[in-house]
Every structure is written in structure tokens, then in C-alpha cells.
Amino acid sequence: MDKFLLVFLAFAVQIFGLDVKRCSISDEIKHAGNQKILSAVLTEELKPVQKRTAQEQAEYLTSRISEIAEKILKKGFAIDAYSNPKADVDSILAFDCFSLWEGESHDAIPLTFLVYVWPSEEYALQYNASHPRNRYYSSNIHSHPISCALAVLEGTMVQKNFELMAVHSVDRIVRQIGEETFQKGDGTVDDLSEPFIHQLYAKGNGAKPAISLHVYGLPSEEKVMASFQETSKSHSYSRIMEKDGVVKNVLPLNRFNPEPIF
């Protein structure tokens, strides 16, 4: 677990009065096996583009996130390597992510693959549902400072899509323009070619977590997390215009942004 997250969680417990319980790796051996499975699949995927530049290889792999997800599942990617925390009245639940493959160790390809583990909305909200900070089960409303793609490995994920009301407004108000439901194998790619603002959360999975495969356009988990942390204020959105025109303020609190922004 990175030091930034440790500081954040300590801050959350002290100030907000509730313990933050994260999804976790429940079987390190199976997680290590998952890393090997993904590495083998990526080695095969790179064969058609082995003479291209590292950046071109990264773009190729990113575009094939759904195919890669399908292949690792067929090769035995262990979903049960990851688990939800136990919910109780003294805690709120949070998603987490774990490194699967870093391009820094593979010919400096500027990519990092992470597995995300999500408690479902229903599971997370069975206690403290009205607490304003019980939102760690979902991502922030955010855009990306680097390229990003994801595919669902298990469960159901919901993606809410947003747009800026005015691109140059200091208020940076967004409004929801759509919603998509992703099942196993479904995915989406943000290659930074057009505006992309979204929020992710799991739904309808009961006590089991949803699992998703993500890939980011930097060569290590450390660099990915540093990028998110450094750009959190410019890529997080805390003012939402509702259908009736009322602007609602939300606290964009998640592992990449520990400070409440109003």
C-alpha cells in the first residue's frame, strides 16, 4: 500500500469518525498467478507490433483492453484472489487497486495494468447510507491526465458520463449526460482525443466485489498514482448541475484526492 493512501486513511478515520475499510488481496499466491497470466497474454499480444515503438505498442495494447480481459479470464485469472471487507456500523467501504504489470520492467513500454476491486453500492450502503462521506465505494467524478482504459472481469460496473457546462468557467460545473452499464468483458477507452469525464461504481454484486482491469499511460504504478495526486484538483469535479438547474456541491474524496474541495 502506498504511503499516500496510508496518510489519507489515517486522516479519514481521525476527522470523520468512521473506519475506512478497503477491498483487498485475499490470496497473495493467486494474485501473483494473475500477474503471470497477464504477463503471458501481453507477451503474445505484443508479437504483431514488436517492431513498433514503445509508444505505439502502448497504444495498441490500450485499444485491446477488452480482448486482453477475455484472454486472461480464459487462462484462469483468479477472481477470488480479491475480496470485500466486512461491512459494519463503524465503517465505510472503499475500492482499491493493485499492480498487475508495469511497462517499466518490459522494454520501457509506457503502460501500467492494475486490477481494481469494488464493493457494490448496495453492499457499501447497508450501513451509514446517509453519511455524506460514504462514497469511497465509487470513484470521483474525474477526467484523466493520462490515457486510460478499462474492462470488467467480474460483476457489474456503472459508468456515469459528464460534460463541463462551460469549458473556461472557474466553477467547473458538470452535468450528467449519460450512463452506461458494463458487464464482464465490456470496457471503454479514453485516449485523450476528446473530453471524457466519468464516475465509476459497482452495482448489484451482493457481498462479492466487482473486479475490473485498468491500463494507464505511464510505465509504473508509482508514476500513475503520482500523476493522479498531482492533478487531482484540475481533474476532479465537485459541482454538479441537476436536471432542475440546481447546482449541488459534492466532496470529491477518494484515494487520489484526500482534501475536501467545495
**Domain residues of the chain, as ranges?**
3-249
Instruction: Quote the CA–CA distance of 57 and 66 in Å, as a whole number.
Output: 16
Lowest model confidence (mean pLDDT) among 139-143, 167-171, 178-182: 167-171
CATH topology of domain 3-249: Jelly Rolls (2.60.120)
Digit-coded pLDDT (tens) for 65-115 = 999 999 999 999 999 999 999 999 999 999 999 999 999 999 999 999 999
Q: Assign 252 a pLDDT band (cuts: 50, 70, 90).
A: low
**Picking from 26-30, 128-132, 148-152, 216-220, which range would have the lowest pLDDT averaged per residue?**
128-132
Q: What is the grid cell recorded at 16? A: 470523520
Residue 132 has a pLDDT of 82
Q: Are 91 and 85 in contact (CB under 8 A)?
A: yes
Instruction: Specify burial of residue 24 (Cβ count, 10 A radius: 0-12, 13-18, 19+).
Output: middle
CB atoms within 10 A of CB 50: 9
Instruction: Please report which confidence band the pLDDT of residue 200 belongs to, taking 50, 70 and 90 as the band edges.
Output: very high
- Quickly tell me which residue has 464516475 as its cell: 199
Does the pTM of the predicted model rise above 0.85?
A: yes
Q: What is the pLDDT of residue 81?
A: 98
Q: What is the pLDDT of residue 166?
A: 75
What the block records as the C-alpha cell of 242 is 441537476
Per-residue pLDDT for 58 more than 90? yes
Cα separation, 162 vs 144, in Å, equals 13
Give the pLDDT confidence score for residue 3 in this predicted structure.
41
Cα distance between residue 217 and residue 240, in whole Å:
28
Containing 255, the helix (H) or strand (E) segment is none
